[in-house]
Every structure is written in C-alpha cells, then in structure tokens.
C-alpha cells in the first residue's frame, strides 16, 4: 500500500507531508486541546462523573425540570 500525500496549504516549495505525519500532528494538537480543556474544567471546580462500582446502585436523577 502506498503512502498518500496531500499538498500543504499556502504554496511554497516545502515537501508534502505524508499521511502518517499529518495524523501525528493532528493527534498532538488534539491532545493539547484536551489537556487545556481538562485544566479549565479542573480550575472551574467541576466534578467528574464516574460510573458506580459493580456493587453500587446508580444515583437517582435530580428532581425538577431536568429530572425524569
């Protein structure tokens, strides 16, 4: 199977990036974005929801407009 290449935007004489290199760069950018989001959420004091252990019951939903 051959490696596909996509020309870079902006022109220039740079060599086109391979598909693997593009995926690695996208994954690095995604990881950076997720890390920044995680830091923002932790700074805001949000609680992370975790599923109950196998021997615990699911919590009851809140009552009111958002509840069942």
Q: Are 22 and 8 in contact (CB under 8 A)?
A: no
For residue 32, the model assigns a pLDDT of 96
For residue 51, the model assigns a pLDDT of 67
pTM for the structure as a whole:
0.44
Q: How far is CA 18 from the centre of its chain?
A: 23
pLDDT digits (tens, 9 = 90+) for 41-60: 888 886 666 666 777 777 67
Residue-wise DSSP of 6-51 = EPPTT-SSPPPEEHHHHHHHHHHHHHHHHHHHHHHHHHHTPPPP-P
């Amino acid at each position: 199977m051959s490696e596909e290449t996509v020309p870079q935007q902006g022109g220039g004489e740079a060599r086109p990036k391979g598909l693997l290199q593009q995926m690695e760069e996208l994954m690095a950018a995604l990881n950076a974005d997720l890390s920044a989001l995680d830091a923002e959420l932790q700074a805001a004091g949000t609680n992370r929801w975790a599923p109950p252990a196998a021997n615990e019951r699911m919590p009851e939903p809140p009552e009111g407009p958002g509840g069942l």
